[in-house]
Structure 1
Amino acid sequence: MIQAAFRIIEVDYAKDLALLRIIREAVFVIEQQVPLAIERDELDSKCRHVLAVDAEERPIGTGRLTPMRTIGRMAVLADWRGKGVGEALLGRLIAHARTAGWPSVSLHAQVEAIGFYRKHGFLAEGDIYAEAGIPHQTMSLDLTNHGN
């Protein structure tokens, strides 16, 4: 099997907002029917954003690291899921958190993605709750003991 060609790049929110929205609106707003007003927030301009692009430089996935030491807005286009894009995005965000000296990082995982995050060392915390009408679980990763 031929490995799909993609790479992870750092993007500037102000300059690359349209690219981030292509992914997030396709996944969250259209596919998962999250209201646009909920998907967009005031945190975006304060976050560190990464983007996965295919061999033709088309956006295929994204994620962000917030000032509150959380990973969020992880999204990969349906055709690219299961091809390592999510792992690459998550790995880059974890690396940034570690470089920043953070002792841990957390996220709000959709329940169906708990196994994905658990595989990367995240541990569930608290009860399952609804966020944008979708069941979520808070998860955290101890960066002091996590060797990625």
Structure 2
Amino acid sequence: MSEIHVRLADWQKDNADLRRIRETVFVAEQAVPPELEWDAEDAEAVHFLALEGDYPVGTARLLADGHIGRVSVLKDWRGLNVGVALIQAVIEEAEQRGLKQQMLSAQVHATAFYEKLGFAIVSGEYLEAGIPHVDMVRNSA
């Protein structure tokens, strides 16, 4: 396996790759309705692509208020630290932008993953797109 690297993505230029990954993970695997997956915030968000060599295998986005979302890694690359690389890149970008607090809505099964990266659960469980979630927050030093 080649080295995984993460780069900033351009919503227009990288749109096909961003959509392919999110549609595979959220719409196809998790049955999130397409109308819930795509929103107006995509055009304003900072997007990230995780790549193995030149092949995009994961994505995430950062909103101007510090919300991290749409974190998705293709099935064959899960468990290979792609998600860790993605979240670390998003946190670094957030901090460079002066966003001292990062927030996300985590699927309950993924909370331990986010806790290892410094996030803490700050809400009770709730359903989003029919999937149990909790709100999590990370404060920069």
TM-score normalised to structure 2 length: 0.97
- Corresponding residue SS for 2:65: coil
Alpha-carbon deviation of 1:4?
4.6
The one of 22, 25, 29 aligned to 2:23: 25
Q: Which runs of 4+ in 1 moved over 6 A?
A: none
What are the within-5 Å matches in structure 2 for residues 33-72 of structure 1?
Answer: 33-55=31-53, 57-72=54-69
Alignment RMSD: 1.0
Aligned to 2:117: 120
Q: Distance in 2 between matches of 1:113 and 1:4?
A: 25
List aligned pairs for 1:1-148, cutoff 5 A. 4-55=2-53, 57-143=54-140, 145=141
- The offset of 1:54, in angstroms, is 1.5
Q: Percent identity over the alignment?
A: 43
Aligned residues: 141
Q: Which runs of 5+ in 1 are unaligned?
A: none
Could you tell me which runs of 5 or more consecutive residues in structure 2 were left unpaired when the two chains were aligned. none
Query: 1:98 & 1:54 partners in 2: Cα distance?
Result: 25
One-letter amino acid of the structure 2 residue matched with residue 33 of structure 1:
A
Taking structure 1 as the reference length, the TM-score comes to 0.92
Deviation at 1:46, TM superposition (A): 0.4
Contact 1:72-1:108 within 8 A present in 2 as well: yes
1:87 partner SS: helix
